[in-house]
């Protein structure tokens, strides 16, 4: 049973890690450096955890980093799992269930993504106010275990308004521009066509990427408060003037990481209060 798999992973982590955080952050492609700022770090590779999927995506260290940030206990997912790796939606969201059972109450999901809104530019940070799931699939499909959450969870406010306000205040205090918009989830691994981008723009998407939404859905279902922040690493197909590459995504994410880390550090400090 899925519940038993989750609890097996939880027991393993508790046996190997002393930290007991209530706040977590998922670090997207090229954005893993915030984990290096944690003190009293305890590293746990995903490959060591019973039942965890395997991932080999470039730019993802594929491990948990437990530690403290300004004295507050934090756990960072330095890398994540993706639908395009051939995993089921339920399987790729397994870490979210595990984090919940470990006591995490608030989670920040970050990503590197493509900009659809013509007002955006590579390097911009975007507060995710809502999302559109274009995958035709959902991590909650299948039998429901009431020990996790309700059969029909509400998705009115997947991205918690109070955390959104906290992020806005943090960005303002640091004089960091923070865009806002709707994030569209595309399965990948190919980049979108120009026609698809035109359609998604008409439907209200401001940015598009290959992650985040399954995790946010699962976290909301589990009763966790979710904050989503995207780093615009490229303009989407038909808007960009050159072909896409993962190397380009990593380069822009790396260039933006210093500002992103400053913002995340302030947000995580406030969330852990």
Residue closest to 197 by CA, chosen among 158, 249, 246, 234 = 234
Question: From the centroid of its chain, how far is CA 166?
Answer: 17
Average pLDDT score, the chain:
92
Question: What are the residue numbers of the active site?
Answer: 29, 60, 82, 84-85, 112, 210-211, 234, 246
Per DSSP, 235 falls in state: E
pTM of the model: 0.94
Residue closest to 35 by CA, chosen among 68, 59, 70, 57 = 68
Tokens of 89: 């939606």
CB of 114 within 8 A of CB of 208?
yes
Residue 58, pLDDT score = 59
Distances (CA, A) of 262 to 98, 179, 223, 228: 27, 16, 27, 16
Tokens of 235: 């303009």
Q: Out of 3.40.50.2020, 3.60.10.10, 3.40.50.1580, 3.40.350.10, select the CATH number for domain 2-272.
A: 3.40.50.1580
Summarize pLDDT for 47-98 with one digit per residue, the tens: 999 999 887 665 558 999 999 988 899 999 998 999 999 999 999 999 999 9
Rounded to a whole number of angstroms, the distance between the first and last alpha carbons of the chain is 36
Residue 272, pLDDT score = 73
Q: How far apart are alpha carbons 176 and 250 in whole angstroms?
A: 21
Q: How far apart are alpha carbons 139 and 94 in whole angstroms?
A: 9
Summarize pLDDT for 186-233 with one digit per residue, the tens: 999 999 999 999 999 999 999 999 999 999 999 999 999 999 999 998
Least confident stretch, 147-151, 191-195, 201-205, 245-249? 245-249
Summarize pLDDT for 22-33 with one digit per residue, the tens: 999 999 876 767
Domain ranges of the chain: 2-272
- Give one word for 263, left, alpha or beta, with left for phi > 0 and alpha for psi -120 to 50: alpha
> Which residues neighbour 91 within 8 Å (Cβ) at sequence distance 6 or greater?
53, 81
């Amino acid at each position: 049973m899925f519940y038993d798999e989750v609890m097996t992973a939880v027991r393993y982590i508790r046996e190997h890690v002393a930290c007991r955080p209530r706040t977590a952050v998922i670090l997207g492609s090229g954005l893993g450096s915030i984990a290096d700022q944690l003190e009293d770090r305890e590293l746990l590779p995903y490959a060591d955890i019973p039942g965890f999927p395997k991932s080999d995506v470039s730019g993802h260290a594929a491990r948990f980093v437990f530690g403290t940030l300004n004295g507050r206990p934090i756990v960072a997912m330095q890398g994540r799992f993706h639908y395009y790796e051939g995993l089921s939606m339920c399987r790729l969201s397994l870490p979210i269930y595990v984090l919940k059972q470990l006591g995490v109450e608030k989670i920040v999901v970050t990503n590197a993504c493509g900009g659809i809104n013509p007002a955006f530019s590579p390097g911009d940070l975007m507060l995710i106010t809502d999302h559109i799931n274009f995958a035709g699939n959902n991590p909650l499909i299948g039998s429901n275990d009431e020990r996790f959450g309700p059969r029909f969870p509400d998705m009115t406010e997947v991205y918690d308004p109070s955390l959104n306000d906290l992020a806005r205040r943090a960005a303002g205090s640091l004089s960091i521009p923070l865009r806002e918009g709707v994030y569209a989830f595309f399965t990948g691994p190919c980049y979108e066509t120009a026609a698809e981008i035109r359609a998604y723009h008409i439907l209200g998407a401001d940015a598009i990427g290959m992650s985040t939404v399954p995790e946010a859905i699962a976290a909301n279902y589990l009763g966790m408060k979710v904050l989503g922040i995207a780093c615009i690493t490229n303009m989407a197909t038909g808007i960009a003037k050159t072909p896409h590459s993962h190397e380009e995504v990593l380069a822009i994410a790396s260039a933006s990481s210093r500002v992103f880390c400053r913002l995340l550090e302030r947000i995580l400090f406030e969330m852990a209060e």
